[in-house]
Amino acid sequence: MMSSDVKRVMLPIVGQPSPERADAARNRRALLAAAQTILTERGIDALSMDRVAARAGVGVGTVYRRFGDRAGLALALLDDTELRFQAAFLSGPPPLGPGAPPVARIRAFLHAYVDRLETEAELHAFADTKSPTARHRSGAYRTARAHLVALLSMADPTADVNYLADALLAALGAGLFLHQRQELGFDAARVKAGLDHLLIAVTEPRCGSGLTL
């Protein structure tokens, strides 16, 4: 029987660095709590390293050392939801998790990603501003890409699954999503329907998608 004083081991997000020391993790949580409060109260435009430092009662240098820049801070704020999302598509119930046909799982992944963007698109877009390829180098992107590559390979081993995985994820870019929602007036249902058509286009010619629109 496990002793009651055994400390819980925190697992890292897939593709991300190893867990921090307990004291470092506490400091990180305090800074992120301050950042989240600012984000909730004043919005993404008010999220700055100076404001986070002031809210947390630390020097601004501490915030820069912890997160590097505002894009790094945005990525850190996304960690918790990213962890839950990865758990859902790697080991959760079908169709997002294992147990459903590969194309059905891809469709569930695309739709779940849209649901995340509904509340997090501005943070995702902010995190992507560091460089044109910042999104593609992140652990979250690499994990999502590997997941799609595996499912596309199961659906059709002869397809260029590496290209197709990037193409599907490009359609989920935060900047594009904000353009569709805010400037074109698309609702989430329309975005999901468009992704369904895209998925059929990349799977139907070879293997048949099995999807019904």
Q: Please list the rounded mean pLDDT of every run of 10 residues in the chain (213 residues).
A: 38 52 78 90 88 92 90 85 94 97 97 95 85 86 97 94 97 96 97 96 68 54
Q: Domain extents for the chain?
A: 20-68, 79-207
CB atoms near residue 168 (< 10 Å): 21
Domain covering 20-68 assigned CATH 3.40.640.10 in the classification = no
How far is it, in rounded angstroms, from Cα 103 to Cα 205? 13
C-alpha pair distances (Å), 53 with each of 65, 67, 73, 98: 12, 12, 12, 42
Q: Which fold has domain 79-207?
A: Tetracycline Repressor; domain 2 (1.10.357)
Residue 18's pLDDT is 53
Q: Look at residues 121, 96, 86 and name the one whose alpha carbon lies nearest to residue 12.
A: 86
pTM for the predicted model, two decimal places:
0.77
Residues 121 and 109: their CA atoms lie apart, in Å, by 16
**15's tokens:** 């593709």
